[in-house]
Amino acid sequence: MDYNHIKSFAKEIRINIINCIGSIGVGHIGGCLSIVDVLAVLYAKQMNIDPKNPKKEGRDRLVCSKGHAGPAVYSALAEKGYFPKSELLTLNQGGTTLPSHCDMHKTIGIDMTAGSLGQGLSCAVGMALGSRIRKDGATIFAIVGDGESQEGQIWEAGMYAAHKKLDNLIAFTDFNHMQIDGTTDEINSLEPLNKKWEAFGWNVYVVDGHDIEAIDKAIDKARAYESKPSMIILDTIKGKGVSIAEQAKVACHSMSLSPEQCEKAISEIRGEL
Amino acid sequence: MKKRLMRDILVDFLRDEMTNGDKVVLVEADLAKCSATIPLMDEFPERALNVGVAEQNMASVAAGLASYGFVPFIHSFAPFATRRICDQAMISIAYSKQNVKIIGSDPGITAELNGGTHMPFEDIAIMRSIPQMVVYEATDNVEFSQALPQILQYDGAVYIRMFRKTPPPIYEEDYKFDLFKATVIKEGRDATIVASGIMVSAALKAREELLKEGIDCEVIASPTIKPLDEKTIIASAKKTRAVVTAENHNIYGGLGSAVAECLSENCPTKLKRVGVKDKFGEVGKAAYLSKVFNLEVSDIISAVKEIL
């Protein structure tokens, strides 16, 4: 399997994110960049979707439960052709179709509104139950934040998804080990996260969240796994691929980006090509 | 119809829709025995769901089902269907424009022996504050049986404040209900009593007593508190120039507030609110609690006399 086109897709998403957030000069850069590689695998390969028919019946769906990573999802959607890349430059401007947090009624290709943390995984459970009733063969994907996993409702959803044996639900934890006020270990440790999900009755994989091949293979295995929902824990780096963000550590959750910093970040990303 | 438990009207409606339609689903949170929907769990194992004691999950799972084209009905006791899931009702449901119908049972003093933790005098205020949320409080079985199909047909989130047991009958079987209209049950010229839920029956009794003293009250049932049928209420206020509201809820944020807001802006009128005066609930039978919280027929009579 040649993964080069997915790797290129990931680079373009990263560039789109810098242009998108750079257009307004501030945003959730860290948590956008940390999920780029899983988004690239989903949108370039795994998801059964059609940008020309965004509401296609039986399509796979994605809930970005950590709704503040909206710009990353918009960047993937634009790269996939859902809307022109020029729209990315309207992020958070009055009247935009691209608000900071995902809104299914504003943005073509967004399947679920999110932003108040902890609710998206439950919504994905509802969608997986809906798909089961309709027998449409869809897989429901959800991306959950690590800080978000401190919300009790994540575990309510987790318990019920396993109880209902929702093997058409595949969730990811963006485990970048950072949240607004510090590292997750400093604030309220999630460890051992894999054992927690296993104890909740999920099929769990832990992979390098920036290894495109590893993510793809984990999704293949999760799709084939029967009678349990799957949790793929992505070991990620907040701000991945842009050194100014990576070096800012927890401060990159929401940070400003000057035009010069954007230019430098884009050359840095392109330099890896 | 009149003697039936209100919850059985709900169950019949849901069963009928799940048998003959493909839209309605039910999500409960371990109170399916209380709403009497529990047989539906066996009859429709994929479409009647029970998430256990997890109201937040119930609300957001329903939102996910709604995004798939279903019309979920969710149920808990009124405080847990509103106060407990305020953010999920706001964001997963209303902000996301999900067509979910939220049923809160045992409102106000009808929570009886469950007491203060289960006795919501704030649920209408909470739900009224959520943009585009329709707020409906059932009056009696005849009305409720006509309200449910209209609520299903309405494309948007609705809060249904439902009495579980047998409510005092108000309407005859031939009554025709419109979800977005208040009903002038009795016409009068001296004062208007606007009531909802169990207080409609009390308002009608108050009217009878007042008639004996030559005071002729108009009684309006306003089951839909949001959007309020302003036209009917303003027309009555213009006629009588004196309005009393009666509700099984805190006077802050409920029917009394809604009527006061409407009249202050459109037709300033002398007004008194009968309702719970900023208190928490407590245990007791409804007959005792209506005295404790001043929800008696005599409280409505006094209020009318005060503003005449």
Question: What pLDDT digit, counting tens, does each position of A89-147 carry?
Answer: 999 999 999 999 999 999 999 999 999 999 999 999 999 999 999 999 999 999 999 99
Task: For A116, name the nearest residue in chain B, comparing CA atoms only.
Answer: B91
Please report residues of A whose CB lies closer than 8 A to that of B59. Answer: 122
What is the average pLDDT across A2-27? 97
From the list A104, A124, A125, the residue facing B96 with the nearest CB is A104
Mutation target among B24, B57, B85, B95 for the A interface, most CBs of A within 10 A: B57
Q: Which chain B positions have a beta carbon within 8 Å of A168's beta carbon?
A: none
Residues of B in contact with A101 (CB under 8 A): none
Look at strands B217-221 and B191-195 and give their pairing: parallel
CA B84 to centroid of chain Cα atoms? 18
Q: How far is B47 from chain A (nearest CA, A)?
A: 7
Contact A162, A228 (CB under 8 A): yes
Q: Which residues of B touch A63 (CB under 8 A)?
A: 64
Q: Would you state the pLDDT for residue B2?
A: 84
Nearest to B91 among A115, A129, A131 (CB): A115
8 Å CB contact of B56 and A159: no
The topology under which CATH files domain A4-271 is: Rossmann fold (3.40.50)
Name the residue of chain A whose CA is nearest to B88's CA: A119
Q: Which pTM does this prediction carry?
A: 0.97
Kindly list the residues from chain B whose CB atom is less than 8 angstroms away from the CB atom of residue A112: 64, 67, 96
Q: Report the share of chain A in percent with pLDDT over 70.
A: 99
**What amino acid positions of B are annotated as catalytic residues?**
55
Confirm if A127 and B68 have CB atoms less than 8 A apart: yes
Select the residue from A139, A156, A165 to test the B interface by mutation, using most B Cβ atoms within 10 A.
A156
Cα-based distances in Å from A270 to A11, A14, A267, B243? 7, 10, 5, 72
In CATH terms, are B6-162 and B183-307 the same topology?
A: yes
Question: pLDDT under 70 in chain B at which residues?
Answer: none
In chain B, which residue's Cα lies nearest the Cα of A125?
Answer: B61
Residue A213: other Cβ atoms inside 10 A:
14
User: CA B153, CA B143: separation in Å to the nearest integer?
Assistant: 16
CATH number, span B6-162: 3.40.50.970
d(CA A110, CA A83): 12
Buried b (16+ CB within 10 A) or exposed e, B56-90: bbbbbbbbbbbbbebbbbbbbbbbbbbbbbbbbbb
Per-residue pLDDT, A196: 98
Pairing type for strands A140-145 and A203-208 reads unpaired
CA distances from B291 to B175, B205, B221, B244, B307 (A): 31, 16, 22, 18, 21
CATH of B183-307, one of 3.40.50.920, 2.40.33.10, 3.30.70.890, 3.40.50.2020: 3.40.50.920
Domain spans, chain B: 6-162, 183-307
Is ipTM beyond 0.90? yes
Say whether pLDDT at A273 is over 60: no
> A140 to chain B: nearest residue by CA?
B64
Please give the average per-residue pLDDT across A228-250, as a whole number.
Answer: 97
**Subunit contact B65:A127, Cβ cutoff 8 A:** yes
The predicted-structure confidence for A23-53, as pLDDT tens digits, reads as follows 999 999 999 999 999 999 999 999 999 999 9
